[in-house]
Structure 1
Amino acid sequence: MLKTILPYLIAALIGAGIGFGAEHVRARGALAIEQAAHAKDNERHTTDMLNVSRAALEGENRAIDAHNLAASAVAAADAATTKEKDAHETDNRRYRAALAAGTERVRVAVRNCTAADPGGLAGSPGAPGVGNGSTAVADLDPAVAERVFGVAGDDQHEIDKVKALQEYVCAVRPKTPGCS
C-alpha cells in the first residue's frame, strides 16, 4: 500500500515545495517593494528635517543679529549718555565753584524790592528800575545761588535719566511710539 501511495506522496511533497518556493519568491518581491517605499519615506523625512533645521538656524541667526544690533545701539546710547552726563557734571561743578567764589553771579529780575541799609535792616519798599519802565535786577547771594543751581542740577540729572531710559527703549524696541 505504501508503494501505491508513495508516488502521490512524493508528488504532493514536490508540489508543496514548489508552492512554498513560489510564495517565498513572491514575498521577497513584496518585501523589496516595501523596503524601497520605506527608504523613500526615510529620504523624504530626512529632507524635511534638514529643511526644518535650516529654517531654525536661519531664524536663530536673525535673532542673534537683531540682539547684537540692539546691544550695539544700547552701548552707543549708553556711551553718548555717559559722555553727556560727564560733561554736564563737569560744567555743573565748575559753575557751582564759580558761584561760591563769587566770580559768577545769578541775576534775577525783580518787580518790587526793598533796599537794605548798611546794618542789614530793610528800608522802605520802592519801585524797581531806573526810569522809563526799565526792569531792575538783583544779584542773588552766592550761597543761595549755589543751592538754587544745585536743585536745578538735580532736576536735570533726573531728566537725563528719563532720556537715557527712552534711548534704551528705542534701541531695544525701535517701533515703540516716540522712537524714530
Structure 2
Amino acid sequence: MLRAIIPYVIAALLGAAVGAEVLHLIGARQLAAEQAAHAKDNEQHANDMLNVSHAALEGEQRAIDAHNVAQAALAAADAAITQEKDAHETDNRSYRAALAAGTERVRVAVRNCSAAGSGNATGPARAAGVGDGSAAVADLDPAVAERVFRVAGDDQREIDKVKALQAYVCTVRPSTPDCEAKR
C-alpha cells in the first residue's frame, strides 16, 4: 500500500513544487510591475522637484535683479541729491561770505522808518519814499543779512532732507501715492 501511495505523494509534491514556482513567478512579475510603477513615480517626483527648483531659482534671480535695480536707482538718487546739496551749500557759503563782507547786499522794501541814531524809538514813524507814496528800499546790515541767510539755508537743508526721503521711498516702493507723478 505504501507503494501505491508513493506515486500520488510524488505527484502531489511535484504539483506543490510547480504551484510554488508558478506563485513565485506571479509574485516576481507583480513585484517587477510594482517596482516599475514606483520607479516611474520616483522619476515624476524628481521631475516635479526639478521644476519647483527651477521656478524657485528663477524667482530668486528676479528678486535679485529687482534688488539690484532698486540699489542702482537708490545710488543714483543719492548721488544726485548729494551733488545738489553740495552745490547748494557751496552757493550758500559763498553768498553768506559775500553778505558778511558787504560785496552783496540784501534790500528790503520799507514803508515807515526812522533814523538809526535818532534816539526816538517810540516817536512817530516817518513815511519812507520820495514823496510820491511809493515804498523806499533799505539795505540790511551785513551781519543781519548773513544771519537771515543762514536761517534760510538751515530751512533749505531740512527741505532737502524731505526731498531725499521722498526719492528713497519712491525708489523702494514706487506704488506709493505721488511717486508715479515724479517719474
TM-score, normalised via structure 2 length: 0.92
- Structure-2 separation of matches of 1:88 and 1:2: 124
Asked if the contact 1:115–1:125 (Cα under 8 Å) also holds between the matched residues in 2, the reply is no
State the identity %.
Answer: 72
Query: Could you list the runs of 5+ residues in structure 2 that have no partner in the other structure?
Result: none
1:121 is matched with which residue: 116, 119, 122? 119
Asked if the contact 1:111–1:135 (Cα under 8 Å) also holds between the matched residues in 2, the reply is yes
Residues 17-26 or 42-51, more deviating: 42-51
Counterpart of 1:149 in structure 2 is 149
What does residue range 42-61 of structure 1 map to in structure 2 within 5 Å? 42-61=42-61
Residues 18-27 or 120-129, more deviating: 120-129
Give the letter aligned to residue 156 of structure 1: Q
Counterpart of 1:140 in structure 2 is 140
What does residue range 9-158 of structure 1 map to in structure 2 within 5 Å? 9-117=9-117, 121-122=119-120, 125-158=125-158
Residues 37-46 or 156-165, more deviating: 37-46
- Structure-2 separation of matches of 1:112 and 1:20: 127
> Which whole-Å deviations, capped at 9, do the CAs of 1:98-136 have from their partners, x for residues lacking one?
01101111111112111234xx63475210111323211
- Structure-2 separation of matches of 1:90 and 1:64: 38
- Structure-1 separation of matches of 2:43 and 2:11: 48
Give the letter aligned to residue 76 of structure 2: A
Give the letter aligned to residue 18 of structure 1: V
- Structure-2 separation of matches of 1:65 and 1:131: 72
Asked if the contact 1:129–1:135 (Cα under 8 Å) also holds between the matched residues in 2, the reply is yes
**Structure 1 moving runs of 4+ over 6 Å:** none
- Structure-2 separation of matches of 1:77 and 1:160: 12
Give the letter aligned to residue 4 of structure 1: A
Counterpart of 2:170 in structure 1 is 170
SS at match of 1:133: coil
Give the letter aligned to residue 64 of structure 1: I
Asked if the contact 1:107–1:137 (Cα under 8 Å) also holds between the matched residues in 2, the reply is yes
Cα RMSD (Å):
1.4
Query: Could you list the runs of 5+ residues in structure 1 that have no partner in the other structure?
Result: none
Report how many aligned residue pairs link the two structures.
178
SS at match of 1:137: strand
- Structure-2 separation of matches of 1:133 and 1:57: 79
- Structure-2 separation of matches of 1:52 and 1:132: 87
> Which whole-Å deviations, capped at 9, do the CAs of 1:1-58 have from their partners, x for residues lacking one?
4323222211111110000000011111111111111111111111111111111111
- Structure-2 separation of matches of 1:100 and 1:31: 100
Give the letter aligned to residue 17 of structure 1: A
1:170 Cα deviation after fit: 0.7
- Structure-2 separation of matches of 1:59 and 1:140: 64
TM-score, normalised via structure 1 length: 0.94
